[in-house]
Homo-oligomer: A and B are copies of this chain.
Amino acid sequence: MIKKMTLEEIGKLAGVSRSTVSRVVNRQPDVKAEVRERVMEVIRETGFVPNSAARSLATQRSGILGLVIPRSVATFFGDPYFARLTQGITQACNARGYMLSLFLFHSNNDEELLLPRLSQGSFLDGVIVQATRDDDPIIPQLMKAALPFLVVGRLNTMPEGVSFIDVDNVSGAYKAVEHLINLGHERIAHITGSLDNRASLDRLIGYKNALAAHNLPVDENLIVDGAFTEDGGYEATRDLLPHQPDAIFAASDIMAIGALRALKDAGLQVPNDVAVVGFDDLLSSYQTEFALTTIRQPILRFGVSAVEVISDIIENGNTPPRQKIYDTELIIRETCGARQ
């Protein structure tokens, strides 16, 4: 069991003052090399780590970032999206010396109780918030507090002056559909995610844009909601089959898997009878049964980038607001038929 030391005590052991030890700990230049070495030695021997509360109090900085998952999306926390995002964020935090504090709101009550503590207690230097429903009070509340924050994803209508990072869902969907069109498909169906969600909406727009750009008609019978679940994708595909699509673009890989399964059960060949393209490319590690062509979102880099942006905001203020949109990448595997 290691005794907790103070700067003062370390100083005594090394025969210098509190201030000098502080300089050594904080890597400030004005210390004679020989003295620095002596102090470092004592620090090494004692395993001294400065008290973070005292440091925060003195510097008005905590070195802690918050990751806030609002109530309205906390139920999706099991989604691999969050796992990856969190991995990216922690990776970047570790690299930059930030600690990460996780706020998963389960109830209204949680939000009401925690939000003020979180935004006012000067416990956090900045916050990364997952985008939520437009009418969620979190973002307005965060704006009122003088706390730097960054939204990951977007709302349908984004308040003025808010920093965010997001993926270009419109162009991602466009790429997927254009790829199918280039392969000669004409009756391209779309399985959407839940449409209360900006990402789903954007992917739908991209789908329609691509059809329009290639003079293909939009057939509403070929657009079905799959609710972002595998079963939803399965059911949607069953509904789609009577309308004879020759390709399906699913707004998520999970739904694409459901679609593939439905096609298999219906005795259809992929990609010969029906081609399939998904969206996300988050599943690769879990699911290799199908070699799914998909649109890759760089979620890991996304998390890393979130930390970079928020720390930029912390250092330099939120003007102008940072608004970054990441590109997606078409990953061609086998379900689209391009590899035959």
Query: Which residues on A are within 8 Å of B, measured CB to CB?
Result: 1-2, 4, 47-54, 56-57, 62, 64, 67, 74, 77-78, 80, 82-84, 86-87, 90-91, 94, 99-106, 110, 113-114, 116-117, 120-123, 144-146, 229-231, 234, 254, 261, 285-289
> Could you tell me the distance between the alpha carbons of A100 and B171 in the complex, rounded to whole angstroms?
37
Closest beta carbon of chain B to A288's beta carbon, Å: 6
B117→A230 contact, CB < 8 A: no
Q: Quick one: which of B49, B113, B114 contacts A121, CB cutoff 8 A?
A: B49
> Could you tell me the distance between the alpha carbons of A249 and B56 in the complex, rounded to whole angstroms?
53
10 A–B contacts from the bound complex (CB under 8 Å): A1-B146, A4-B146, A64-B101, A77-B87, A78-B84, A83-B83, A90-B102, A94-B114, A99-B123, A231-B289
> Could you tell me the distance between the alpha carbons of A91 and B78 in the complex, rounded to whole angstroms?
15
Residues of B within 8 A of A287 (CB): 230-231
> Could you tell me the distance between the alpha carbons of A113 and B116 in the complex, rounded to whole angstroms?
32
Nearest B-chain residue to A106, judged by Cβ: B91
> Could you tell me the distance between the alpha carbons of A262 and B7 in the complex, rounded to whole angstroms?
64
Residues of B within 8 A of A83 (CB): 77-78, 82-83
Q: Quick one: which of B86, B91, B100, B113 contacts A94, CB cutoff 8 A?
A: B113
A50→B121 contact, CB < 8 A: yes
With A86-B102, A101-B101 known as contacts, the answer to whether A2 contacts B120 (CB < 8 A) is yes
With A49-B121, A101-B102 known as contacts, the answer to whether A285 contacts B146 (CB < 8 A) is no
> Could you tell me the distance between the alpha carbons of A78 and B104 in the complex, rounded to whole angstroms?
16
> Could you tell me the distance between the alpha carbons of A67 and B50 in the complex, rounded to whole angstroms?
21
Residues of B within 8 A of A146 (CB): 1-2, 4
Closest beta carbon of chain B to A92's beta carbon, Å: 10
When all copies of this chain in the complex are counted, the total is: 2
Q: Which of A53, A91, A103 has the most CB of B within 10 A?
A: A53
A230→B289 contact, CB < 8 A: yes
Residues of B within 8 A of A106 (CB): 87, 90-91, 94
B78→A285 contact, CB < 8 A: yes
B289→A234 contact, CB < 8 A: yes
> Could you tell me the distance between the alpha carbons of A99 and B100 in the complex, rounded to whole angstroms?
11
Residues of B within 8 A of A113 (CB): 94
Q: Which of A57, A101, A103, A121 has the most CB of B within 10 A?
A: A121
B86→A49 contact, CB < 8 A: no
> Could you tell me the distance between the alpha carbons of A146 and B3 in the complex, rounded to whole angstroms?
8
Seed contacts A50-B121, A56-B56, A87-B106; 7 additional CB < 8 Å A-B pairs: A2-B144, A51-B122, A78-B285, A94-B110, A100-B101, A101-B101, A102-B102
Q: Quick one: which of B64, B84, B104 contacts A90, CB cutoff 8 A?
A: B104
B122→A4 contact, CB < 8 A: yes
> Could you tell me the distance between the alpha carbons of A94 and B102 in the complex, rounded to whole angstroms?
11
> Could you tell me the distance between the alpha carbons of A120 and B49 in the complex, rounded to whole angstroms?
6
